[in-house]
Structures are given as C-alpha cells and as structure tokens.
Amino acid sequence: MKTVFITGASSGIGEACARKFAEGGYTLLLNARNVERLTALKAELESTYHVEVVLLPFDVRDKAAAKAALEKIDQRFQSIDVLVNNAGLALGVDKEYEGDWTDYETMIDTNIKALLSITQLVVPGMIARGKGHIINIGSVAGDVAYPGGSVYCATKAAVKVLSDGLRMDLAHTPLRVTNIKPGLVETNFSVTRFHGDKERADNVYKGIKPLTGADIADVVFFAAGAPAHVQIAEVLVLATHQASGTVVYRE
C-alpha cells in the first residue's frame, strides 16, 4: 500500500488531496495545525474509504517539530511514496514598501522555508528506497508579479525554482518532482489573505466560475499515478475564463 504525506491538509487543496488519495487507497499522513479539523477528517476518511490515516499536527515552519513528528510515527508509515508540499498562504495586498513585515515573514517562512525543510526531511529516505514523488503546490502567481502581491509572488516563484532545482538534483534517481500551479481556486485562501474579511474575499471570485480544491487534487493525483517513466514536471491549471494571473474575464 502506498503512503502519501500531505502538508496543510485540514482545508482547501490539502483537504481535497487527502480525500482524493484516500479514495485511491493510499495510507495518509496528514499535517496541519488545526487538530480539531484534522481529527474530524481522519474519522471521515477512515470510515468512508477504510484507509489508515496518521495525524501529524505541527506547524510546518518548525523544522524541529516536523522532524520529531516524523520520527515518532510507526515504522509501517515511514516509507513515504508521495510528498505533497501544499501548506502555503498569502497575506495582504499592500504595496511592497508598505506591507506588514510579520505578514512577509509568515509567507516566506511557510511558502519557502517550510517547503524546503519538509523536503530535506523526506527526500533522503526516498532516495535510499529508490522511489518517491515530490509534488509542490505552486501558483500562477509565481510566473509574473502583480500589484500588491510581490512578496507572495516571489515565494511562489521560489517554489518553481526549488522544484526545478530539486528535479535536476534527482535526475540520477528514479524520483520525480512536479510543480502544480493553480490559478483562481475558491478555498479559504482569500479569507486568509484579507485577514478574515469574508465579503472582500468573496469579491475575488465574483463573475467567474473558479477552480475548486477538488479540481487541483485531481491533477495532483493524476501526476502521482503516471507511469514510473513519466515525470509530469509542471502543470498550470486555470479556470476557463482566467488567461493569466491578472487577466480574468468576469460576466
């Protein structure tokens, strides 16, 4: 039975990935800070799909906590086949020179440093076992910057470069690396970005049918299920009426 480790699994794309991989029969290692939501998700997935779910409730920004959690899990779950580096967020839409420094640090620590630390903790084991797939959740925002989003865009550009670099570093191995770049996905992403302002967040998706977390989970699962000799390096996924990070047709 294959095992998948998903960060940021308590909501949005991460939760959707958990459901998709559970449906596919995977054993799941699920990480998030929200223990209540993780616990409820575990109960639902185990009951519905009869799979094993192990909870890893730590903050991905804390590498020591991540290391300790991974070392404590049962030996049966140590062989991670698929790592989905999903945990990430955007905070604020301020001009680069006016933004909140704490927001900037949180985005950089979560979107870049945490992804890198989880990769360092998991990939050596994959190399030793001679199998594994790292799937990073990037963004269309990593392709071109937009006003009020430069720091977030920079973090997602970093995800692309880290994915490309890791793929090069692993070219001599059977491991695969995929960067999935979603466009507009209606999750709690915008609520978080606007610091809980639900009305402002809802306006982001007005006039267009956005993607859902399940849409992205389908792409992630497809990439993970490709034949061993096929490496889906990068996928840009947009809503039909979104042409780029900033070009959106709204009815």
Measure the CA–CA gap between 228 and 133, rounded to whole angstroms: 10
Annotated catalytic residue 152: yes
Residue-wise pLDDT tens digits, 83-142: 999 999 999 999 999 999 999 999 999 999 999 999 999 999 999 999 999 999 999 999
Side-chain-side CA neighbours of 238 within 13 Å: the count stands at 14
**Kind and range of the H or E element at 17?**
helix 12-23
Task: Give the model's pLDDT for residue 1.
Answer: 87
Residue-wise pLDDT tens digits, 51-81: 999 999 999 999 999 999 999 999 999 999 9
Task: Give the model's pLDDT for residue 112.
Answer: 98
**Mean pLDDT, to the nearest integer, of 239-247?**
96
Catalytic choice (26, 104, 152, 181)? 152
- Dihedral pair phi/psi, residue 183, rounded to 5°: -95, -135
**Mean pLDDT, to the nearest integer, of 204-216?**
97
**Mean pLDDT, to the nearest integer, of 239-250?**
96
Catalytic choice (26, 156, 198, 249)? 156
Task: Give the model's pLDDT for residue 107.
Answer: 98
The fraction of the chain above a pLDDT of 90, given in percent, is: 99
Annotated catalytic residue 156: yes
Ranges of each domain in the chain: 3-237
Mean pLDDT of the chain: 97
- Where b means 16+ CB within 10 Å and e means fewer, 185-211 reads bbbbbbbebbeeeeeebeebbeebebb
The CATH architecture one would assign to domain 3-237 is 3-Layer(aba) Sandwich (3.40)
